[in-house]
Structure 1
Amino acid sequence: MIRQNLFILSVQHCGSSEQRQIFFGLSILAYVFTIFVNLTLILTIVLEKILHEPMFIFLCNLCVNSICGSTSFYPKLLIDLLSDSHVISYTACIIQIFGICMYLFCESTNLSVMAYDRYVAICKPLEYHSIMTPRRVGMLLQITWFLTFIETIVGILLIVRLPLCGSRINKLYCFEWDVVKLSCIDNTLNNVFDFVIMVFHIFQFQIIIISYVLIIRTCVRSQAERNKFMETCLPHLIIMGILVASATLDFMSARLTSDTSLQPLRNSLSIMYLIVPPILNPVIYGLKLKQLRRIVWKRIGD
């Protein structure tokens, strides 16, 4: 039984030492860029009172979450890419699982909240400010982080109870299912929890779909509403599509096949939702939202 031991990560599948150095350079550029663009949007939204609207507040929350998720993933990856020893301690592994799960769960819930906000803005414009009051916005943010924390901490508690009989993790980072697979005992409870979480987030995804069906129905009637949809809703749909597609592909590749020859592909799929959304969130929203883009460029110019 392994408890306080080292886990071996599959960084060796990233190629030779020279190739890993190239990946290191690309990864550190991606990390620095992610922190810079998200922090720029956060500071812009916080400092500009004109941007203290629900849509921008939820976007700010998305950027905060992106920084937290990236910081849970990149530092350990960067160390491993320069090292010949690709190991992580049990405690560090649990901490990384906590950070990455918080990021994923918060991303999904925050995107659902943003879909609701866009639905009210476009389908009920006259009631928007009476519905999306500062108090309700604050409540939605609190619910987002509360649900995220509860989901994550329950998952962590279900992991730490398990005695482990293996040390090899088939990912570039620690994740819940990969550690559960190393268990020496029956992990049915963990599987049930995973199923409940999956159903919950499928429900969130359905809320997003229903919101956008109603939004599209409304937009058909008016050119102005169509323009509003293209500016404020299309970025949200792009980010949601990337997150859902990459998470689904990673889930399928991890659970449906154990072919080691596919490990490089699995590594690529497993990091897409940790790399792409945090980079694209501020870039896509910054490009599409004219008001935000104008203020950002003004601040950079000053």
Structure 2
Amino acid sequence: MLDRVLHEPMYIFLCNLCVNGIYGATSFYPKILLDLLSDSHIISYNACVTQIFVVYSYILCEQANLTVMAYDRTCARSKAEQNKFMETCLPHLITLANFSLSAAFDAVAAWFFSYESLQALRNVLSIEYLVTPPLLNPLIYGLKLKQIRLSVWRLLSRKVSALT
């Protein structure tokens, strides 16, 4: 918010990805932590419906945001010169592929792995899209996009110089 250089559509979309990742994580992490700390692994009907709503709205927002980002990158790429590909398009393609494959694996697991013996695999596949994208998105975009890396470096430099 403080750096005017980052007030472009791509960086606003990245902020939306971050906020949406936090939103999606709030549907999953509190319940899993509660289950790890307690002996009872029961969820009420209202809590289950709320969790389903938050998870599905997270998926919808994530997919919509990634689609709009793809359109923005396509427009920007057609107006700019193909050496920006590694900086802008590749991280987005990795993120889009990661999220889409994670959601597809969850759907496949729910459809085909209904046997009791494969329940552990089904559980892992069903939560992978809630865990991996929110953790990887900041790393992928933060490390690959030069403007974000420079802004973070400037912010940290100011903080260090203020301390000394």
Q: So what's the TM-score if we normalise by structure 2?
A: 0.92
- Contact 2:24 2:55 (8 Å CA) reproduced: yes
Give the CA deviation at 1:249.
1.4
Q: State the distance in 2 between where 1:116 and 1:293 align.
A: 23
Post-superposition Cα deviations, 1:16-35, rounded to whole Å, max 9, x if no partner, equal xxxxxxxxxxxxxxxxxxxx
Give the CA deviation at 1:51.
0.5
Post-superposition Cα deviations, 1:153-179, rounded to whole Å, max 9, x if no partner, equal xxxxxxxxxxxxxxxxxxxxxxxxxxx
Q: State the distance in 1 between where 2:48 and 2:96 align.
A: 27
**Structure with the bigger percentage of helix:** 2
Consecutive unaligned residues of structure 1, counting only runs of 5 or more, are: 1-45, 126-223
Equivalent residue in structure 2 for 1:258, among 103, 109, 114: 114
- Contact 2:113 2:122 (8 Å CA) reproduced: no
AA matched with 2:5 = I
Q: State the distance in 2 between where 1:257 and 1:290 align.
A: 42
Post-superposition Cα deviations, 1:248-268, rounded to whole Å, max 9, x if no partner, equal 111111112311111111111
Matched, 1:236 2:96: no
**Bigger radius of gyration, 1 or 2?**
1
Post-superposition Cα deviations, 1:204-258, rounded to whole Å, max 9, x if no partner, equal xxxxxxxxxxxxxxxxxxxx52x31111111111111111111111111111231
Percent identity reads 61
Partner of 2:8: 53
Q: State the distance in 2 between where 1:300 and 1:279 align.
A: 21
Matched, 1:90 2:49: no
Equivalent residue in structure 1 for 2:55, among 100, 103, 108: 100
Give the CA deviation at 1:296.
1.0
The 5 A counterparts of 1:1-302 are 46-125=1-80, 225=82, 227-301=83-157, 302=159
Secondary structure at 2:43's aligned position in 1?
Answer: strand
User: For this pair of structures, how many residues does the alignment match?
Assistant: 158
Consecutive unaligned residues of structure 2, counting only runs of 5 or more, are: 160-164
Partner of 1:210: none
Q: CA RMSD in A?
A: 1.1
Partner of 2:162: none
